[in-house]
Amino acid sequence: MNELLQQGITAYKAGKRGEARRLFVSAVKQNPESELAWGWMYQTSVNDKERVFCLKQMLRINPDNEKTGQLLKQSLAPAPAPVTPPPLQAAPPKAVEIKCPHCGEPVQAGAPRCKYCGRDLKKLKAASTKKDLKKLINFVIAIITLTVVCGLIYGLSSVAKSRIDAIPTPTRSPQENAWQACVLFVEKQEKVAAFDAQRFTPDGVILLDNGQYRVDVSYAKLDVTYTCVLLDLADGKWELISLTATQK
């Protein structure tokens, strides 16, 4: 068992999953044919995709590992369909009551006459219907106006977006990506503005033997050079191993 793997197991048992994961990543890069290293990497995986990848590597190395094969089948099995509960029975509608505008007593909505004062309620219903119709027309007009305005805004934003996307973006090298990641880590942790950093130079980025990157970024205004040690986690994600500052 190599030293990186032993350190990772010790960190995992101590509850330091982040540190253990970093050590296991280095261990499988150093020895990709180690079934044990991939097994510990599986224990610290952060998502299902990564766990499946680790299991496949273990089976590649040892196809006769039945337990690993069962875990892989379970990970690739489709999720069970959700159980749909039966629809709830709607409660019978309750009779709606309103107050008589003449005597103030409660009467059933739609009644032609008040059962208390005997006054005619049909004229009141007709006036209420006209008022409700006017409200409905105003509401429809407001909805149409809002839809037209939103359509115009969306159209203008789509045109602007297409123009921005049309500008070609040069492909960065791994060294440039490491340099950019270091600048962002310095800005986040040290509160140093990214625009104060020097421009990227290949001499400032070194690929170490363990697969990590050492990046030196100079900040002329501060007379400081920040040194990052980074681990490439793929898909544009970087892990900061260490960050130090050296005064010029």
Q: Is residue 206 included in any domain, yes or no?
A: yes
| Domain termination site, one of 45, 76, 107 | 76
| Domain termination site, one of 31, 60, 76 | 76
- Contacts of residues 46-51 at CB distance under 8 Å and 24 or more positions apart, as own/partner, are 46/21, 48/75, 51/75
What CATH number does the domain containing 225 carry?
A: 3.10.450
Q: Is residue 21 included in any domain, yes or no?
A: yes
Q: Is residue 84 included in any domain, yes or no?
A: no
pLDDT band at 124 (very low <50, low <70, confident <90, very high): low
pLDDT (tens digit per residue) in 70-94: 888 888 887 676 667 666 666 666 6
Q: Is residue 22 included in any domain, yes or no?
A: yes
Which of 141-155, 165-179, 206-220 shows the lowest mean pLDDT across its residues? 165-179
pLDDT (tens digit per residue) in 223-247: 899 999 999 998 879 999 999 999 8
More confident residue, 163 or 142: 142
Is the pLDDT reported for residue 150 higher than 90? no
Q: Is residue 232 included in any domain, yes or no?
A: yes
Q: Residue 69 — φ and ψ, nearest 5°? A: -60, -40
Res 168: pLDDT = 40
This prediction has a pTM of 0.33
Distances (CA, A) of 245 to 173, 176, 186, 223: 25, 20, 10, 10
32-43: b (≥16 Cβ within 10 Å) or e: eebeebbbbbbe
Q: How far is 126 from 93, CA to CA, in rounded Å?
A: 24
More confident residue, 151 or 31: 31
Q: What is the mean pLDDT of the chain?
A: 83
More confident residue, 110 or 4: 4
In terms of C-beta density within 10 A (0-12 exposed, 13-18 middle, 19 or more buried), how is residue 240 classed? middle
Cβ atoms of 179 and 217 within 8 Å: the answer is yes
Domain containing 18 equals: 3-76
Q: Is residue 19 included in any domain, yes or no?
A: yes
Count of domains observed in the chain: 2
Q: Is residue 233 included in any domain, yes or no?
A: yes
What CATH number does the domain containing 57 carry?
A: 1.25.40.10
Other C-beta atoms lying within 10 Å of the C-beta of residue 204:
19
Q: Is residue 134 included in any domain, yes or no?
A: no
| Domain termination site, one of 53, 76, 99 | 76
Q: Which residue has the tokens 């970087």?
A: 238
Res 167: pLDDT = 37
Is the pLDDT reported for residue 98 higher than 90? no
